[in-house]
Structure 1
């Protein structure tokens, strides 16, 4: 217990001493008002009386709250002397701020150590994090920076959605809000992803989306998208959807911050009909070039998770622009090629039946040369199922390359292909294409009038196939 004490320890001990003295006086007053000098309790000390009676959760919470309130008072004094009348130098103000922060950190540690077996409390309420906001001016960035440093930063691991929504409803100015976002950027640099996403959704997005502010979205003083993101969204930008950002700031352009876009946002950019990317092969190439800059396919996989999700949400089954579709398919297969040797059947299923489903219509015989020749027949079957999917929607005249790719793929893996003589052959046809030149109504009328063997034999097989075939009966077929 000996040795010199640091200023922070002295401050903490002083604060705790004041709180303990206040609690002791309160306890003595209660005891004196409930027990006289001649009462049995005073004449016969009980083993269970005295110190043990103060071991209550309420005492711990009350003491912690008082220390926190004392720090609030000292912080207001620091703000006054350090910034308003300038009686403290900047270095001295910073030193005192750091000491006050240590008091809060140490008090939190003591509180959690002593309340390890307690439950049913809200540490944010006990330390009065929102109450302390009322002690200063919301429009003062300096006050908010100090408040964040002393109150919110130490408790940041414990904030929840309810608290962040309440914080977003405070009447901050845009400059004060910018100060908070910047402070959160620094404090949460290495924080877990879910906490950062929660702060974006429940605080940053919630605040910027408010319509009852003097400057909704904080857009009046900023012209460039990149500057707006840097000031008011910061590193939380990666958790925003491009749609959200455009709703908040109608002048926002994703192209202006392309280098900051996450893989999810790049997928959103490509599939946004207003971006023009679905008609611009150059934009698509830039996206995939940026995705493939890493040494693994992590970003590519993340991109396709979002790409597939958005396609399903928008009910997109085919990328209609052939150049864009072919670019996505070819660049993806090229990027995946080095890893195909380690793919399991479920990996081929994911890529050829799910991720690439909207672009496999651009397959041609040369597309699949990147597939290793030693894959299992289960993997072969997974790929083949994906290759056949476009045939369900492509017109016959546009499916030639896909059919050629399938034929070439089968020839490459004869060990996995069942002989056609042992299979029931199924040929997919496009009825509209075949019957386009046949006048069905005139044909049906002709056959209904002259329902004779001669009339039926003068009609081609294709014409019969395109008719309603109501004239064909077992009787006249035998006669024919």
Structure 2
């Protein structure tokens, strides 16, 4: 009623307020804006709403200070007006200008009652799609930072061309989890989709963002009813990051995997051994393939080393009766692009046709190094498995000479690209422990040539699967003298990828103290921070001998947070011995170590070790503080 009575001077008053700080607007800003909305904004004609000068006058000047306090009622009415896309985007810029001054709740209300309401109306196009050339431009023009408070499922219907994978840098970690779960069911390339999102989050790794992404996965997966293959793709990437994250994040990954395991469809076994059979129908494969020129070259014997110039499909669709072992070796060694690299059915057809010279060709390639990132290498190995390994009897495959022939010689160039399917099938071959260990050692010697994801697949799909399913000799431990020997024989170089908890799971009798030389720094931290593993100062001294001085800060960066809050679960003798290691080796009382470095030790690394400080450690502790600046002394 007040503003209605004072209508004649309202506009000049608003002009005056526009030049004042936002704090001058007052506590009744929301109610005032509601009234102005009724007596002014609602009176603007459709023609005026299309006029950028009018929009600027009202929303950029007169109402700007009130917008952070806009009520749902005001926003709902505003979102229903007949704006052009340009006018809408002009008003949105004002809300964006005040985004950081709004509460989280207000940001959500603006997104739902104004942005979504307008963009869902027919007059917006809908979605104001036609005025943008890319997903990023559309998102920035029509949502700005408000996109970060919205569910992806509301964005997708507004723009059929919107591709969330093109704007991952604009999405929150929770939204990326939602994107993954929303797109996986319809994706024909689940691994590619999963890798795209995981790569964005982990290259480089921001543990804070990845933590938020992880916590979103079970929430969105619960509603999505994902397929078995979708879960396998997710688990493969979760496994791949485990060795490179902190202990606290590794614990969250394990927890998330447990939660996801409860959502897996009935009958789906993530790491089960199975052998896929690739169907090869030559008629279907060769439809539209013109291999006439290649056939002429092969028949005349005038290839002149041009084996890499022709697509794999052309070789598969020709008559290969004149192909020599040298020719096939040249074909297999090509570093093909994804466009000419073929597919597993194509390679299987080609190698089946060239079966008579396959073994000799593989012998010729024994000392060749192939690029494991070339997708053709993995396809070739899968095809050879079906054509050759699947036809070898169980008894023969457990013959050391056969293992040497195939794995150390003929398959050696291809093993760095071993696919999860190849590895999974291998565990079904009824290998004995000796054969399994022989293969692990061969793979270990090739580990440096493997991508990180392949190394993890060897653990999850071969090592872990075999050791947990083997019933004749539990954990393949009967012929080993100690846990260190067991680790070298059964995991080889891949032991560095495995958590201490997993080692205990694989071998119930695993003793960390027997395997200290084989454990990584991270595994040593896990042992130290697991209650009951270290029970005396002598054991602490034994373990810490395997932590070089230069890695002490890294060790305690993980160890101290892991025991913080439950120090009483670790014997005082163990904590005292750990503190003594710091006093003896970190040189914190030496003034060549700067105050900033000492501050880090005091703030986090030493805190759990100072609980119940023994009298013998009081002096060494205060020697660290002596001569330091006042802030360090106060911190101590």
For the pair shown, the structure with the greater C-alpha radius of gyration is 1
- Scaled by the length of structure 1, the TM-score of the pair is 0.50
- Report the TM-score, using the length of structure 2 for normalisation: 0.39
